[in-house]
């Protein structure tokens, strides 16, 4: 990859994101997703990047439909922040969030998830609800066990997909030989602009 060529940098950034979505060992598999809550406060949390699509310019995450972040995401501005230490690349990605809970695409994603992954959505109370003591929030009958396909059915309404329609990517590369920074914006047709790091 040519780090002094904008088109190559953009392609490289998407390559890192695609890998982040597909490879659990990639540091970009668990970026920070930042939103703004109803009081105007920034809220940031780690989320698993499930898929990056360079053609559609989207990122996909999964969450519990009952979690407070859902209200902070749908139709709202989001920033995704990741750092790849091996590549010494920071990616700061901005766009608009969308929450999808129903439809064929979401049903397909749900069906393709492992039963263990789907088990979290059996939690009895919304994420962030107070508990009387330490606990996973899962019903006792499923603790430490993989649910069956029948047992997981009632969890489906709690599953939500989060999509980010990317409208800018800020790429920062650290190097002793000279840092580099570039901003790519959909509004400019993704042409890119070098910035002072
Ligand atoms: C490594 C890691 C991965 C996580 N992945 C997710 C995820 O994919 N989806 C999610 O909703 N929360 C995930 N979480 C939990 C969130 O960081 C957060 O604690 C939780 O979703 C509550 O966020 P909220 O109160 O802003 O809704 C993850 C946490 C860690 C440490």
Cβ(63) to ligand 1 under 6 A?
yes
Instruction: Please calculate the CA angle 152-153-154 and round it to the nearest 5 degrees.
Output: 95
Give the ligand 1 atom nearest the CA of 46: 17
DSSP 177: T
Average pLDDT for 7-26: 98
86-130 pLDDT, tens digit each: 999 999 999 999 999 999 999 999 999 999 999 999 999 999 999
State the Cα–Cα distance between residues 185 and 168, nearest whole angstrom.
4
- Domains of the chain in start order, with CATH, are 6-195 (2.30.110.10)
Instruction: Tell me which residue has its CA closest to atom 7 in ligand 1.
Output: 47
Cβ(72) to ligand 1 under 6 A?
no
Average pLDDT for 35-61: 98
Instruction: Tell me which residue has its CA closest to atom 30 in ligand 1.
Output: 46
Cβ(191) to ligand 1 under 6 A?
no
Per-residue pLDDT band at 168 (split at 50, 70, 90)? very high
CB 104 within 8 A of CB 110: no
CB 128 within 8 A of CB 67: yes
pTM confidence score: 0.97
pLDDT at 72: 97
């Amino acid at each position: 990859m040519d780090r002094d060529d904008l088109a190559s940098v953009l392609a490289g950034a998407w390559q890192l994101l695609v890998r982040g979505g597909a490879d659990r060992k990639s540091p970009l598999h668990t970026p920070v997703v930042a939103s703004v809550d109803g009081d105007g406060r920034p809220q940031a949390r780690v989320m698993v990047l499930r898929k990056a699509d360079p053609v559609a310019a989207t990122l996909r995450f999964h969450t519990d439909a009952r979690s407070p972040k859902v209200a902070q995401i749908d139709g709202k501005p989001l920033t995704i922040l990741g750092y790849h230490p091996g590549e010494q690349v920071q990616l700061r990605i901005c766009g608009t969030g969308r929450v999808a809970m129903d439809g064929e695409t979401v049903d397909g994603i749900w069906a393709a998830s492992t039963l263990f992954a789907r088990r979290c959505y059996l939690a009895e109370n919304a994420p962030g609800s107070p508990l009387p003591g330490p606990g996973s929030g899962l019903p006792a009958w499923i603790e430490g066990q993989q649910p069956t396909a029948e047992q997981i059915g009632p969890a489906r309404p709690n599953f939500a997909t989060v999509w980010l329609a990317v409208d800018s990517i800020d790429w920062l590369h650290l190097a002793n030989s000279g840092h580099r920074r570039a901003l790519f914006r959909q509004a400019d047709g993704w042409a890119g602009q070098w910035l002072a790091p």
